[in-house]
Chain A
């Protein structure tokens, strides 16, 4: 037994060793490419999972000082607007209503309160793992109105579309959604188009691209000449993705390419794309801290519009709350500031007492910086 454990351990150690060796090799190649470019390079990731992975794997320590990593609007939880949270709370407080949502949404601050507060106050708010759980709850309780408060990028919206299609097929009349889905490509178009921040390359989200494929991102290279690589979440994946971006800069040939070939195909998942087209139509959406971005969200199409919770069960009274004073979330999400540049960071604003939404989600930039101790 002890022998086996020993063997296992040494196998693990040698696997780790080779990961380390490969990481160092990539890190050297990155330094060489950076030297060839001969100027600092700003890279932005737009996926909360990448934000966290960069810290977890200590990637920054492996990069030359000429490479600056910015976190973009990569966390769908962080960009959920105050009015959307207020609407969710107002819906949840209605009699006979159950509001279901993902766990991450519970602590997102509305104007003053969050969904946990609403729940403590007697509203029926439940955390679910899948939108299907909410649909099942509706089927089991025909006398309740069950609402799924749906957030997420392209990874998540097809699942909500599929759940709505099922609700329609099974004639589940008491199932509704409050959707605040966001689309990644229009946000990147707005960010690059604004010219506010200089981005030399984009690390594209691995799992969102599993659904979309690379086609909706082609404009990054064609219109903005910005090298963009769909990257996985392991340390070697990320380093390789960064190297691929730098090589494109060196060659002066920006393109949209996939590092994460094991999981992402250029065409994406056609069935999920079809579900999106069937249920949703693009609509303007409000991104917290950033503002309204044209066609960057989804509205329901016929025959699904009757399931839009606010329209069907409202009207709901949504007071007008300003963003919390001093919170720099918007600038952080646009890559204009690092979380540590915010005056409230780590003082008035911590994960236990978050002021802005970027400190709430585990994948928010401010929360990640706080947890891993500032810029590593």
Chain B
């Protein structure tokens, strides 16, 4: 349950931001971010809060891993919403990165 997903900031609004991951959008809080972030930056998101900035390369690598797991899980017939608490999975429909 401690998994955090690198997500891309596509909208900024004071201490809130909209992030996108695997085509899903979510409004998150930047209240705990130790540094400034800008549009297009990747942040690690856990349960509605950004907890750290990550560089794009690391974010994309994490996505690749999550997509592999998603495919595996789909094959097993159990796929979760990427923002579901216990799911840490990006839908396989996510565009290739």
- Which residue numbers of A lie inside 8 Å of B, CB to CB? 8, 15, 47-49, 56, 75-77, 102-104, 127, 129-133, 151-153, 155-156, 158-159, 162, 165-166, 205, 207-208, 210-211, 233-234, 262-263, 265, 269-272, 275, 361-363
**Given the known A-B contacts A129-B85, A156-B47, A269-B34, are A47 and B2 also in contact in the complex, defined by CB atoms under 8 Å?**
yes
**Sample of 16 further A-B pairs with CB below 8 A, known A48-B2, A270-B34:** A8-B96, A56-B72, A77-B1, A102-B1, A103-B84, A131-B47, A153-B2, A159-B47, A159-B48, A210-B52, A234-B62, A262-B54, A262-B55, A263-B52, A272-B34, A361-B86
Contacts of B85 in A (CB 8 A): 102-104, 127, 129
Contacts of A363 in B (CB 8 A): 1, 86
Interface contacts (Cβ under 8 Å), in number, total 111
Q: How many positions in chain B have a CB within 8 Å of any CB in the partner chain?
A: 33
- Which residue numbers of B lie inside 8 Å of A, CB to CB? 1-4, 28-29, 31-34, 44, 46-49, 51-52, 54-55, 57-58, 61-62, 64-65, 69, 72, 83-86, 88, 96
Q: Do residues B2 and A234 form an inter-chain contact, with CB atoms below 8 A?
A: no
CB nearest to A103 among chain B residues = B85
**Given the known A-B contacts A102-B1, A158-B51, A361-B1, are A129 and B32 also in contact in the complex, defined by CB atoms under 8 Å?**
no
**Given the known A-B contacts A159-B32, A234-B65, A269-B52, are A102 and B47 also in contact in the complex, defined by CB atoms under 8 Å?**
yes
Report B56 CB to chain A, min CB distance, Å: 11
CB nearest to B4 among chain A residues = A207
Q: Do residues B32 and A275 form an inter-chain contact, with CB atoms below 8 A?
A: yes
CB nearest to A272 among chain B residues = B32
CB nearest to A260 among chain B residues = B58
Q: Do residues A129 and B47 form an inter-chain contact, with CB atoms below 8 A?
A: yes
Report B31 CB to chain A, min CB distance, Å: 5
23 residue pairs A–B, Cβ–Cβ below 8 Å: A47-B2, A56-B72, A76-B1, A77-B1, A102-B47, A103-B84, A129-B83, A130-B48, A131-B48, A153-B2, A155-B51, A156-B1, A158-B49, A162-B32, A207-B3, A207-B4, A207-B46, A210-B4, A233-B3, A262-B54, A262-B57, A271-B34, A272-B34
Report A150 CB to chain B, min CB distance, Å: 10
Report B41 CB to chain A, min CB distance, Å: 15
Contacts of B47 in A (CB 8 A): 102, 129-131, 156, 159
Report B75 CB to chain A, min CB distance, Å: 12
**Given the known A-B contacts A8-B96, A156-B47, A234-B65, are A271 and B2 also in contact in the complex, defined by CB atoms under 8 Å?**
no
Contacts of A233 in B (CB 8 A): 3, 65
Report B89 CB to chain A, min CB distance, Å: 11
